[in-house]
Structure 1
Amino acid sequence: MPHTPATLLRRAVRPASRAASPHTVLLVMCAGYFLVLLDVTIVNVALPRIGSGLGADVGGLQWVVDGYALALAALMLTSGTAGDLYGHRRVVLTGFAVFGAGSLACGLAPGVPVLVAARVVQGVGAALLLPGTLAIIGRVFPDEAERARAIGVWAGVGSLALPAGPLLGGLLTEWLGWRAIFLVNVPIVVPALIWSAAVVQESREEQARRLDLPGMLLGALALLAVTFAFIEGGRLGAAAPEVLTAAVIAVAALVALGVVESRRGDDAMLPLALLRRSAFGAANTAAGIMNLCTLGTLFVLTLFLQSVQHHSVLLAGLMLVPLFAPLAVLAPLGGRITSRIGSRLPAGAGFLVAAAGLALLPRATPHAGYPVLLVAFLLWGVGLGLVTPAVVAAAISAVPGERAGLASAVNNTARQTGGAIGIAVAGAVAGAASDPARFLPGFHAVAVASACLYAVAAVLAFALLPGALRAGRW
C-alpha cells in the first residue's frame, strides 16, 4: 500500500510504539531547533534578490524578516503552556508540520503579501518547536548531569545554525535562487516529523497552567502595532495617520496587557511579579537590547554589502561568517565562565566588546576593504558569544527553580521581540539601499546607536546582574 500524505499524517499522531534511545530523541529535537534558528539568519543574505524578484521595497523586506520574528515572539510563552496542557509531543509534531507548510508556501510565494503571510506561518511553527524540543529533552534525560549535557548539545547545535545561515543562504541563493532557502527546509522537516512521531513518547504536566489567550492576543497586538508604526513610519513619515493610529493601538494594548496580566495571577502568560525582580528585569532588558541591535544592524548591513558594495550573494554570506562563528565557538566557553564567576562580568564585558565592533562600522564606505569589516565582525561576534549565555543564565537564576522554564521562555521572548523591533527601526532609519545618499548615513547611524545601546546594556549588567556563585545559587 503506498504511503500517502494522509497515511503518514495518521501515523504521525499515533503514540510512539516503544521508548527510543534518549540520544535518538535528542538528535531529532536538535534538528527542530536547528531549523528554527537557521531561518533567523538564512533569509538576510537573500533580501536583495527577494526585493528584485518580487519588486519589494525596503518596507516589504522588513516585513519578510519580521513576519517570522513577530509570530515567534508573540507565541513563545503560550506555546510552552500549550505543551504542558496538550502534550509536548503533539505540540512538536504540529510545529514541524506548520513550519514545513510555511516553508513550502514561502518557496512558492508569487508576491510579497503571500511571502509575508507564509513567514508568519513559519514563525508559528517555530514558536511551537522551540520550547517543545527543550521540554522533551528534559523528560527523556531524568538524570540531572545527563540532562545538562544534553541541553548543552541542543544549544551547541542551535549555535551552529547562526553561522550556517549566511553561508547556506548565500550558496542556495547564488546557485538555485532565493526560493531555495525556504524549500530546503521541506526535505528536512518531513523525515524529522515522521521520525519524531516514531521515537518521542507523549508527556504533559499534571497541573499545568491554563492558556492565557487574552494575554497572548494583547501582547501580539502590541508588538504588531509597534512594528507597523516603525516600518510604515520610515515609508510614510511619522505624522502619517496610519502610523499615529498604530502608535495609539500599541500603547492601549500594552496598558490593557498590564491590567489583564495583573489580574490573572499564576495563570498569567507573563507574571508581572517576576519582572519586579531587578536581576530578572535587567537580564531580559539586556537580552532585548542584544537582539534589537544585532538583528537591526544585520538587516541594513546585508543590504550594504550587496546593494552598496555590490558583492555577490555568496560572497556576502561568506563575509558574514566571522560575525556568527565566534558566537557558536564561544557560547559553550561563555557558559562555563558564567557558571564560575556569575553573569555580571561576562555580560558587561561582552557588551563592551560588541559595542567596540559596532563602533567600527561607520568606517565602512562603498569602497572600503574587507579588513575594515572583518575586525568589526570579530569584535561584535566575540562580544555576543560572551553575552548570550550570561543573560540567559542570569534570567533563569533570578527566579525560583520551579519557574526556570518560564524564565527561559520570557528571555527568549524578550530577544525575539527586540529583534523584531530592531529590524523595523533600522530599516526606517536607513531607508532604501538604492538611495545611497540617505542609506549610507542611516546605516552608520544605526551602527553608532547600536554601539551606544550596547554600552547602556553593559552598565545595566555591571549594576544589576548577579556576580559570583554563593551556595549553589547566584
Structure 2
Amino acid sequence: MCVGYFLVLLDVTAVNVALPRIDADLGAGVDGLQWVVDAYAVALAALLLVGGAVGDVRGHRRIVLLGLGIFAAASLACGLAPTIGVLLASRAVQGVGAALLLPGTLAIVVDSAPDRRARARAIGVWAAVGSCALPAGPIVGGALVDAVGWRSVFLINVPIAVVAGAVAIRIVADDRPATRRRVDWAGATLAALTLASLVFAIIELGRTGPGPTADASIVAALALGSAFVLAEKRQADPMLPLSLFRRLEFTSATLIAGAMNLGTLGLLFVVTLYLQSVHGDSPLRAGVALLPLFLPLTVIAPISGRWTAQQGPRVPMAAGLLLAGAGVALMTRLEPDSSYAVLLPATLGWGIGIGLLTPAVVAAAVGAADPARSGLASGVNNTSRQAAGAVGVAAYGAAAGRPAHTVAFVAGLHQLAVATAILFGIAALVAIATTTPGGDP
C-alpha cells in the first residue's frame, strides 16, 4: 500500500522535470505541457472522493488492485506515446487509476492493523513513505531523463506497480464492503467536466486570448458547476456534502488548502521551465535545485504536527503561509543568468513554510467537522488541493507565456511570485481571523 501511495505522489513532482524534453520531442508547446500536468490532476481531483466511496461499496482490495492495474497500463501508454494527444489521454487515465488507488491504500493499512497502537505506527509509516515521494520525484525524474529520456519517467512505474499488485494479491485479505450506499457518479462526472472546462478556458485564454472558444468554455464551466451544486443538493449520498461548508472554519481551511496548492504547483510549473529552458540546467540539475522546496515537507511536517497538537492550527497555518510568502517573494530576484545562491533562500523559505502549513491546514479541516465525518473532511481538503493545483498550473502557465521569449517570461515569473506572495498573505489573514486558537470547531 505504501508503494502505491508513493507512486501516486512521485508522479506529481517527477513529471515536472521532464516537461522541457517532452516539449522538444513531441512539440507540445506551453499549453500542451500544462495539460501534461493537468490531465492527471483533473482526473485525480474529480474522482478522489469517488474512489474512496467505490472502495467502501465494492471492497478496498478490489479497487486498489484495479487502480494499480489502470495506473500501470496508463503509465505504459504514456511512455510509448507517439504524439502529445496520446500522452494527454494516457495521463488522464493515469489520474483515474490514481484516484481509485489512493484512498484504498490508507483504508487497507488501517484495516490490517490489529490494535490502536499498531494502527498508529502503520499510518505513520504510510505517511512517511508518501512524504518521501515529493523530494524523491525531482531527483529520480531528473536522473532518469538525463540517463534514459523522458519516457522512462512513466515506464518505471510499470514494473513497480506490477510487483506491488502481485504482492497485494497474495497478502491483502479480501474485504467485505463496509456500506451499501450508492456511489455518486453524477456528481463525479459533473465535477470532472466542470474542472476540465475551467482549466481548458484558462489555458485557451493564455494561448489565444479572449475568443469564442475561451468564452464558450467559461460559460460551460459555470453551467456545469451550477449543475454540480444542484445535483449534490438532491443526492441522498452526495460525493461532496454541501452541509460541511456551513462551518466557517472548515470552509476557510478548505480555501486555504486550495490557495496553498494553487500558488505552489502553479509557480513550480513556471520555475521548472525557468531552470531548464531559460537558465539552461539539465533535468537532474534542476531536480537537485528544487530539493530545498520538497525536503522540508518531510522534515518539518512532523514538527508542525506536534505544534498543531499542542496549540491548535491557527499559529502554524499563519506562520507557514507568511514564511512561504516571504520565500516566493524572493523569486523576484531571479534573472536568466542568476546563480544558485539567489534561488536557494527562496525555495528554502517556501518549502519550510509549506511544511509548517500542510499538517495544520488538514488538522483545521478535520477539527472543524463532526468526528463521524473526519475522513470525509480530510478527503474534501485533499480534493480542494488537487483541484486548485490543476487550476494553478493552467493560470500560471498562461500568465508566464513561452520560455523562448526570455525577457517576457522572466518578467512574468516575477509578477507571479509577487501575486503568490500576496495570495499567501491574504490566506494567513483568513487563517488568523477564522481559526480558533485551540483548533476547536
What TM-score comes out, normalization by structure 2 length? 0.98
Q: Distance in 2 between matches of 1:170 and 1:97?
A: 25
Which of 19, 34, 51 is equivalent to 1:47?
19
Q: Distance in 2 between matches of 1:340 and 1:443?
A: 38
Match of 1:426 in 2: 396
Aligned ranges 1:4-403 → 2 under 5 Å: 29-237=1-209, 239-265=210-236, 267-403=237-373
Q: Distance in 1 between matches of 2:208 and 2:175?
A: 49
1:406 maps to amino acid: L
**Kept after mapping to 1: 8 A contact 2:321/2:428:** yes
The Cα of 1:288 is off from its aligned counterpart by 0.6
Q: Secondary structure at the residue paired with 1:177?
A: coil
Q: How many residues align?
A: 441
**Kept after mapping to 2: 8 A contact 1:83/1:204:** no
Measured on the aligned residues, the alpha-carbon RMSD in Å equals: 1.1
The Cα of 1:205 is off from its aligned counterpart by 4.2
Q: Distance in 2 between matches of 1:149 and 1:290?
A: 28
**Kept after mapping to 2: 8 A contact 1:395/1:411:** yes
**Kept after mapping to 2: 8 A contact 1:152/1:332:** no
Task: Go from structure 1 to structure 2 and tell me whether the alpha carbon gap of 1:388 and 1:281 turns closer, same or farther (over 3 Å shift).
Answer: same
The Cα of 1:465 is off from its aligned counterpart by 2.3
Match of 1:408 in 2: 378
**Kept after mapping to 2: 8 A contact 1:32/1:130:** yes
Q: Deviations over 1:192-213 (max 9, x none)?
A: 0000111111224443431111
1:333 maps to amino acid: I
The Cα of 1:409 is off from its aligned counterpart by 1.1
Q: Distance in 2 between matches of 1:347 and 1:148?
A: 24
**Kept after mapping to 2: 8 A contact 1:344/1:462:** yes
- The answer to which of 224-233 and 459-468 deviates more is 459-468
- The answer to which of 136-145 and 39-48 deviates more is 136-145
The Cα of 1:331 is off from its aligned counterpart by 1.1
Q: Distance in 1 between matches of 2:425 and 2:12?
A: 25
The Cα of 1:450 is off from its aligned counterpart by 0.9
Q: Distance in 1 between matches of 2:429 and 2:121?
A: 32
Q: Does 1:448 align with 2:390?
A: no
Q: Deviations over 1:256-308 (max 9, x none)?
A: 1111111124x011000001111111111111111100000000000001111
The Cα of 1:459 is off from its aligned counterpart by 1.0
Q: Distance in 2 between matches of 1:261 and 1:204?
A: 27
Q: Percent same amino acid among aligned pairs?
A: 55
Moved over 6 A (4+): none
The Cα of 1:396 is off from its aligned counterpart by 1.2
The Cα of 1:144 is off from its aligned counterpart by 2.6
- The answer to which of 381-390 and 138-147 deviates more is 138-147
The Cα of 1:395 is off from its aligned counterpart by 1.1
Q: Distance in 2 between matches of 1:207 and 1:48?
A: 46
The Cα of 1:413 is off from its aligned counterpart by 0.4
1:220 maps to amino acid: A
**Kept after mapping to 2: 8 A contact 1:81/1:208:** no
Q: Secondary structure at the residue paired with 1:360?
A: helix
Q: Distance in 1 between matches of 2:275 and 2:282?
A: 8
Match of 1:435 in 2: 405
Q: Distance in 1 between matches of 2:180 and 2:373?
A: 12
The Cα of 1:394 is off from its aligned counterpart by 1.1
The Cα of 1:461 is off from its aligned counterpart by 1.1
**Kept after mapping to 2: 8 A contact 1:331/1:388:** yes
